[in-house]
């Protein structure tokens, strides 16, 4: 069950710097921990996160096993034009979640 | 590692004099929220930064999904959660109306799973039970804890109080030694809270996930080097009933955040 929460303004003035926050449900299992049976729990992390504004990449990051479960990412960008921001998380075990929000720029 | 710290800290608790009896008028109760740092409080208050909300969101999906042989969704019988479940989490544990059994909220949800939906009971601490419980409890956020006046609960609370005040485990401690006698003081890095169950189901950073009140109690029992009860045992439900009564009037803050 994958789910995410995005916090972005619905409207912004052209040229404004806006903050975007993205939170996603994920165990971020490091691959370095033994389970209760003594065997290593296989690594299961998000590897990559990106945000595109009307198709153009505005933010991207690569994750590492040292990042806590349910990663919360916050970044800033400059509002240019109305449209859609698409978010994409990909990772181990074919993890792939997309989310998008609409924004109006005046 | 935590156990070693606990041992050390306990020595200091015993060396120090016991906290002076609380005196004076007014409500002296404090929730764990009030003892948290400002950044953690902000995380709890911001629905888009609070990871507990991911479970609430997951709960909403389950609430509306038909399940079991009856192929019925929770929503089919209970309609919208903000109407039908408002204040419900604030009054459990209670005796279920339709079956007369004593249950906490998770137990009540499982009664509906098995009895109404004819589905398997959800496992303790599974994502699905935590999600449904978080979703139902959120409908009571901001409402005061209001244990029912049911006379049958008097005995249950009394049993819970005995368990709370009884010394047990290798360290020979009672819950009350920490949460009544030494609340507000430090146990290693942690401030000992008064132990009010306002935040549950809770997102605890140490767990990196949401957990139930029973999981919290299990943690404290392991800290006391006492044998934890089985999930859903009568002992846990009695302790929960006592804690809810002790916290009567304090506001539900679930999904809470705790370190």
Angle at A68 between CA A67 and CA A70, to 5 degrees: 115
Q: What is the mean pLDDT of residues A70-95?
A: 96
Q: How many domains does chain A have?
A: 1
Residue B98: predicted pLDDT: 80
Which structure tokens are listed for B53? 């909300």
Residue A48: predicted pLDDT: 98
Q: How far apart are CA B179 and CA B190, in angstroms?
A: 13
**Which of the four pLDDT bands, split at 50, 70 and 90, describes residue A2?**
low
The boundaries of the domain holding residue A44 are 4-105
* Position B248 pLDDT exceeds 50: yes
Residue B16: predicted pLDDT: 37
Choose the mutation target among B54, B57, B58 for the interface with A, i.e. most A CBs under 10 Å. B54
Residue B25: predicted pLDDT: 64
* Position B83 pLDDT exceeds 80: yes
Q: How far apart are CA A2 and CA B55, in angstroms?
A: 10
Q: What is the mean pLDDT of residues B71-80?
A: 97
* pTM (predicted TM-score): 0.90
Q: What residues 118-157 of chain B have any CB closer than 8 A to a CB of chain A?
A: 127, 131
CATH classification at residue A19: 2.60.40.10
Q: Which residue of B has its CA nearest to A6?
A: B48
Enumerate residues 6+ apart whose C-beta is below 8 A from B203: B50, B51, B52, B55, B209, B210, B255, B256, B257, B258
Residue B4: predicted pLDDT: 53
Question: To 10 degrees, what angle do helices B234-246 and B213-223 make?
Answer: 100
pLDDT tens digit string along A29-57? 999 999 989 999 999 999 999 999 999 99
Q: Which residue of B has its CA nearest to A73?
A: B49
What is B53-138's CATH number, 2.60.120.10, 1.10.760.10, 3.40.50.740, 2.120.10.30?
1.10.760.10
Compute the mean pLDDT over every residue in chain B, rounded to the nearest whole number.
91
A-to-B residue pairs, Cβ atoms closer than 8 angstroms = 43
Which structure tokens are listed for B109? 């949800």
* Position B113 pLDDT exceeds 90: yes
What is B144-258's CATH number, 3.40.50.12280, 2.102.10.10, 1.10.760.10, 3.40.50.300?
1.10.760.10
Residue B97: predicted pLDDT: 87
Q: Which residues of A touch B46 (CB under 8 A)?
A: 7
Domains B53-138 and B144-258 belong to one CATH topology: yes
Among residues B35, B13, B79, B11, the alpha carbon closest in space to that of B259 is found at B35
CB-based contact, A70 to chain B, within 8 Å: yes
* Domain boundary assignment for chain B: 53-138, 144-258
The b/e string for A51-77 (b: 16+ C-beta within 10 A; e otherwise) is bbbeeeebbeeebeeebebbbbbeeeb
- Measured in angstroms, the CA of B213 and the nearest CA of chain A are apart by 21
Residue linked to tokens 């009010």: B196
Residue B99: predicted pLDDT: 83
Residue A3: predicted pLDDT: 87
Q: Which residue blocks in chain B are alpha helix, DSSP H?
A: 2-15, 32-35, 38-45, 52-63, 74-78, 81-84, 105-111, 127-138, 152-165, 175-179, 213-223, 234-246
Residue B230: predicted pLDDT: 97
Structure ipTM: 0.85
Is the separation of the CB atoms in B107 and B231 below 8 Å?
Answer: no
High-pLDDT (> 90) share of chain A, %: 95
pLDDT tens digit string along B4-30? 555 544 444 443 333 333 444 688 999
Q: What is the mean pLDDT of residues B159-183?
A: 97
* Omega of the bond leading into B201 within 30 degrees of 0 (cis): yes
């Amino acid at each position: 069950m994958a789910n995410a929460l995005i916090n972005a303004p619905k409207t912004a003035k052209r040229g404004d710097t806006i903050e975007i926050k993205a939170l996603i449900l994920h165990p971020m299992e490091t691959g370095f921990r033994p389970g209760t049976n003594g065997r290593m729990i296989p690594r299961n992390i998000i590897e990559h996160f990106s945000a595109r504004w009307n198709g153009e990449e505005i933010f991207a990051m690569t994750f590492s096993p040292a990042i806590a479960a349910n990663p919360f990412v916050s970044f800033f960008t400059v509002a240019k034009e109305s449209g859609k921001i698409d978010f994409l998380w990909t990772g181990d075990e074919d993890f792939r979640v997309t989310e998008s929000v609409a924004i109006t720029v005046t | 590692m935590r156990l070693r710290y606990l041992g050390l800290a306990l020595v200091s608790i015993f060396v120090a004099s016991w906290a002076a009896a609380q005196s004076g008028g007014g409500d002296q109760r404090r929730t764990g929220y009030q003892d948290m740092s400002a950044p953690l409080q902000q995380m709890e208050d911001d629905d888009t930064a609070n990871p507990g909300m991911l479970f609430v969101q997951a709960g909403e999906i389950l609430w509306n999904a038909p399940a079991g042989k009856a192929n019925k969704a929770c929503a089919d019988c209970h309609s919208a959660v903000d109407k039908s479940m408002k204040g419900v989490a604030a009054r459990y544990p209670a005796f279920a109306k339709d079956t007369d059994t004593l249950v906490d909220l998770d137990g009540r949800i499982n009664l509906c799973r098995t009895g109404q939906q004819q589905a398997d009971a959800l496992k303790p601490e599974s994502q699905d039970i935590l999600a449904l419980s978080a979703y139902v409890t959120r409908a009571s956020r901001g409402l005061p804890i209001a244990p029912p006046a049911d006379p049958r609960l008097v005995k249950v609370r009394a049993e819970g109080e005995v368990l709370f005040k009884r010394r047990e485990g290798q360290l020979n401690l009672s819950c009350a030694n920490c949460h009544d006698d030494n609340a507000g003081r430090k146990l290693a890095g942690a401030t000992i809270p008064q132990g009010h169950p306002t935040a549950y189901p809770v997102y605890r950073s140490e767990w990196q996930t949401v957990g139930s009140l029973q999981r919290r109690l299990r943690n404290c029992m392991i800290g006391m080097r006492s044998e934890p009860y089985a999930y859903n045992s009568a002992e846990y439900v009695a302790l929960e009933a006592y804690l809810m009564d002790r916290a009567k009037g304090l506001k539900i803050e679930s999904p809470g955040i705790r370190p």
